[in-house]
Amino acid sequence: MSVSGSWVRAARGAMLLSDDGELRPTIFAEMSALAARTGAINLGQGYPDEDGPRAVLEAAKRAIDEGLNQYPPGRGMPVLLEAIANHQQRFYGLRVDPEREVLVTTGATEAIAATLLALVDAGDEVVTFEPFYDSYAAMIALAGGVHVTVALPAPAFRPDLDRLRAAVTDRTRVILINSPHNPTGTVLDREALELIVELAHRHDAIIVTDEVYEHLVFGVEHIPISTLPGARERTVTISSGGKTFSTTGWKIGWLIAPPELLDAILAVKQFLSYVSGAPFQPAIATGLGLPDSYFADAAAALAVKRELLGSGLRRAGFEVSRPDGSYFIIADAAPLGFIDAVEFCRRLPQLAGVAGIPLTAFVRPERHADYRSLVRFAFCKRAEVLDRASAQLAQLRRT
């Protein structure tokens, strides 16, 4: 049976439809399955391999024991709405109304989905950087939007501001940014952010900003775009507890937006998941209330891991990026004689017992040539795992 429907748009948007109309598995699924089959160390998918703060885990268990097991309020539980508002005030000096400007979602993923479905009409353009997080392309397509991209060129992955200027027009409905950026680790600086605000004003566009790695920056400042003059009234800020508290399986995310925008997004969200994980909401609230030292230590520990894997990759003969944030580092396999990272990643578990993701998974076919030999590796793993991966990767020098 051939099943038609809007999924075709999503699959095509996410570059997962083969020429004969078959849905291909994502490269993430393929590489994770390959890692599992071969026993390779999986540095493909970006999730930590140890638990986050004890207090957060205990709070979820307590919530279950205390009977918080039924539908919570549609906008989110007051304790979490308050905690999100307090977090914005504490870290960024932003005053947020927890009752009207915050919405709890089922992960940042649902926040992105609901926002794009709510705000993008058929034919509207959505501008993102490229490479881009895979759900953006799928959701823009599902909303009937047109995806316009601005390249982050290797090896520095910084945006060319003239190209950004050229990409935003009166057809642009949304400028969707992600800083710190997955997959490149780029953290947008004030100049780029100011230009985005200026362009959004000039072309009456909405800014949507995915800041799930907001606390995972290494010696640079994360500047939420909504702190810039003129940004707030047209910005939807998206984040999540998954990356900050190493609870990626809990799927508690949120968005912060002016009430008119938020109500439009809520109108969609209530028919997607309706509400999100009751016992995890007070637990993430506990996390957001942890002392500053927790957030600083989490970033510092991750910075050490970036160095561990970075130096391991360098010793193995890769050319390696130095990400300013996120879970990810980009390695160029070309110096080792591998020019096609897709083929390389399919062989890497056999060659070195390690799995990664070719960067082209985040890039549209017309730009593949610019990223062909690049691989994304996740360094959000235990030090001993990164040491073992580094030792195994060193074998590549001899192949």
Ligand X SMILES: *Cc1c(COP(=O)(O)O)cnc(C)c1O
Q: Does 360 bind ligand X (CB under 6 A)?
A: no
Instruction: Pick one of 186, 246, 248, 286: the residue that binds ligand X (CB under 6 A).
Output: 248
Instruction: Pick one of 253, 277, 349, 356: the residue that binds ligand X (CB under 6 A).
Output: 253
Q: Does 108 bind ligand X (CB under 6 A)?
A: yes
Instruction: Pick one of 52, 159, 242, 279: the residue that binds ligand X (CB under 6 A).
Output: 242
When the beta carbons of 177 and 336 are compared against ligand X, the nearer one is 177
When the beta carbons of 40 and 108 are compared against ligand X, the nearer one is 108
Measured from the Cβ of residue 370, the count of other Cβ atoms closer than 10 Å reads 16
Strands in 319-320's sheet, in edge-to-edge order, are: 319-320, 328-332, 374-378, 357-358
Q: Binding pattern to ligand X, positions 193-212, x when CB under 6 A?
A: -----------------x-x
Measured from the Cβ of residue 398, the count of other Cβ atoms closer than 10 Å reads 5
Q: Which stretch binds ligand X (CB under 6 A): 26-34, 106-114, 160-168, 356-364?
A: 106-114
User: Sign of the C-alpha dihedral, residues 40, 43, 45, 50?
Assistant: positive
Q: Please, what is the minimum distance in Å from the beta carbon of residue 107 to ligand X? A: 2
Q: Please, what is the minimum distance in Å from the beta carbon of residue 89 to ligand X? A: 22
Q: Which stretch binds ligand X (CB under 6 A): 55-63, 67-75, 246-254, 270-278?
A: 246-254
Q: Please, what is the minimum distance in Å from the beta carbon of residue 28 to ligand X? A: 11
Please list every residue from 111 through 150 that binds ligand X, using CB under 6 A: 133
When the beta carbons of 234 and 376 are compared against ligand X, the nearer one is 376
- Going by C-alpha positions, the residue among 44, 116, 5 that lies closest to residue 362 is 44
Instruction: Pick one of 42, 88, 172, 182: the residue that binds ligand X (CB under 6 A).
Output: 182
Q: Please, what is the minimum distance in Å from the beta carbon of residue 185 to ligand X? A: 11
Cα→Cα distances 325→109, 220, 267, 298, Å = 19, 8, 33, 12
Fill in the amino acid letter for 2: S
When the beta carbons of 140 and 393 are compared against ligand X, the nearer one is 140
How many residues sit close enough to ligand X to count as binding (CB under 6 A)? 13
Q: Please, what is the minimum distance in Å from the beta carbon of residue 189 to ligand X? A: 18
When the beta carbons of 104 and 212 are compared against ligand X, the nearer one is 212
Supply the DSSP string of 105-165, one letter for each residue: EEHHHHHHHHHHHHHPPTT-EEEEEES--HHHHHHHHHTT-EEEEEE--TTTT---HHHHH
CA distance 176 to 209: 6
| CA atoms within a 13 Å half-sphere pointing along the CA-CB vector of 49 | 15
Cα→Cα distances 270→56, 105, 142, 281, Å = 26, 10, 18, 17
Cβ atoms of 80 and 281 within 8 Å: the answer is yes
Measured from the Cβ of residue 315, the count of other Cβ atoms closer than 10 Å reads 15
CA distance 365 to 120: 24
Q: Please, what is the minimum distance in Å from the beta carbon of residue 345 to ligand X? A: 19
Q: Please, what is the minimum distance in Å from the beta carbon of residue 216 to ligand X? A: 10
Vertex 321 angle, CA 317 and 325, to 5° = 140
Q: Does 178 bind ligand X (CB under 6 A)?
A: yes
User: Sign of the C-alpha dihedral, residues 219, 134, 123, 367?
Assistant: positive
Q: Please, what is the minimum distance in Å from the beta carbon of residue 156 to ligand X? A: 19
When the beta carbons of 111 and 154 are compared against ligand X, the nearer one is 111
Q: Please, what is the minimum distance in Å from the beta carbon of residue 37 to ligand X? A: 24
User: Sign of the C-alpha dihedral, residues 345, 349, 351, 352?
Assistant: positive
Please list every residue from 257 through 286 that binds ligand X, using CB under 6 A: none
Binding-site ranges for ligand X (CB under 6 A): 107-109, 133, 178, 182, 210, 212, 240, 242, 248, 251, 253
